[in-house]
Chains A and B, each alone.
Chain A
Amino acid sequence: AQSVTQLDSHVSVSEGTPVLLRCNYSSSYSPSLFWYVQHPNKGLQLLLKYTSAATLVKGINGFEAEFKKSETSFHLTKPSAHMSDAAEYFCVVSDQRSSASKIIFGSGTRLSIRP
């Protein structure tokens, strides 16, 4: 069985400071892992994905995430926060073995940026 846990429901940082959004996963098989961002009343946009290639994954808008198998983590980071980064972020796990490719969403982390 798969599961994903986002450790913080809300993170607040000052503009220009680093961002860290934490995600831990559980999967019986080699997982695919994703981060999605959702701005208010908008759909979901893929930020980045890990599919068993390089463990450090670079995404859009300066975000990156590192897959750490020993820690079963896939934390999302950004060196310097921008006001436009304020949104809801979802960590997602998918079982690569499943042809139906069902994915499991974390509960989300709301990122606020202080001026």
Chain B
Amino acid sequence: SQTIHQWPATLVQPVGSPLSLECTVEGTSNPNLYWYRQAAGRGLQLLFYSVGIGQISSEVPQNLSASRPQDRQFILSSKKLLLSDSGFYLCAWTSGTGGFGGYTFGSGTRLTVV
């Protein structure tokens, strides 16, 4: 069966420090991978998505970047965090055939920038 792992679960980082959040998927190949952010009291915003290794599409210009070094690994990074980067970050995957099966989400990372 397919599983998705996301870590860490919580993170407190000072302003200006770097960030690296990792997401891995097991039990499938060539998934579409996504990073979403949920700010307090707001819905989910798509940050990045990837349809293959090294292929990254950015939905919102910001202080963050994403990379996909391996087929089932998706990394969200920042060189210097801002206070506005605080939020709940969710990784998700779906099969390459489209949204028929719905999206499977990781358990999320609660990031607090202080």
Q: How large is the interface on A (under 10, 10 to 19, 20 to 34, 35 or more residues)?
A: 20 to 34
Selected from B57, B92, B100, the residue in CB contact (under 8 A) with A96 is B100
CB contacts under 8 Å to B, within A75-115, are: 90, 92, 94-103, 105-108
**Chain B residue, CB-CB nearest to A35:** B102
Q: How far is the CA of A105 from the CA of B105 in the complex (A)?
A: 13
CB contacts under 8 Å to A, within B67-114, are: 88, 90, 92, 94, 96, 98-108, 110
Q: How large is the interface on B (under 10, 10 to 19, 20 to 34, 35 or more residues)?
A: 20 to 34
Number of residue pairs spanning A and B whose beta carbons lie under 8 angstroms apart: 70
Q: Which one of A12-20, A36-44, A60-68 is at the interface? A: A36-44
Q: How far is the CA of A103 from the CA of B32 in the complex (A)?
A: 12
Cβ of A56 < 8 Å from any Cβ of B? Answer: no
Closest CB in chain A relative to B79 CB, distance in Å = 26
Closest CB in chain B relative to A49 CB, distance in Å = 5
Closest CB in chain B relative to A74 CB, distance in Å = 14
Closest CB in chain B relative to A100 CB, distance in Å = 6
Residues of A within 8 A of B (CB): 32, 34, 36, 41-46, 49, 51, 90, 92, 94-103, 105-108
A-B contacts, 15 of them at CB < 8 A, read: A36-B105, A41-B108, A41-B110, A43-B90, A43-B106, A44-B103, A46-B103, A95-B99, A100-B49, A101-B94, A102-B59, A103-B46, A105-B44, A105-B45, A107-B43
Q: Which 5 A-B pairs have the closest CB atoms?
A: A94-B99, A107-B43, A44-B105, A101-B99, A105-B44
